[in-house]
Amino acid sequence: MFGKAGLGGLMQQAQKMQENVKKAQAELAQTEVEGQAGNGLVKVAATCNHVVTKIDISPELISEAADDKEMLEDLILAALNDAYEKGESTSAARMSQFTQGLPPGFGDFFK
């Protein structure tokens, strides 16, 4: 099916692709996204691999939420989830370049 040179070339391509995937994963681990809730009153910065690096709560919200702890908690959770979704979307877009044209299931090889 594959000649000796063909199989060797295929293996080299796979190895190079795997190296590129690891490089992209390292870059994504450093890439930050920002999630927001409450029209920007709560902002969360996180990396694409879900490490939260910053939470910013507007002073305006803190004074309003003094009596509504549950509302503040909900806004923080919403901002976290927004950041996580943006991180996943950014990661999927970046990694899709490595799986384009591969048969179904082969993309899992690079996770």
What CATH number should be reported for the domain holding residue 67? 3.30.1310.10
Structure tokens at 8: 């060797």
Q: Sheet harboring 52-57: ordered strands across? A: 32-37, 42-47, 52-57
16 lies in a domain? no
Name the region of 43 (left: φ>0; alpha: ψ -120 to 50; beta: rest). Answer: beta
**pLDDT band of 17, cuts 50, 70, 90:** confident
- Global pTM? 0.72
* Phi–psi pair at 31, nearest 5 degrees: -80, 125
100 lies in a domain? no
> pLDDT tens digit string along 78-93?
999 999 999 999 998 8
51 lies in a domain? yes
- Contact predicate 76/36, CB 8 Å: no
Which residues form the domain of 46? 25-93
The total number of structural domains in the chain stands at 1
39 lies in a domain? yes
2 lies in a domain? no
**pLDDT band of 3, cuts 50, 70, 90:** low
5 lies in a domain? no
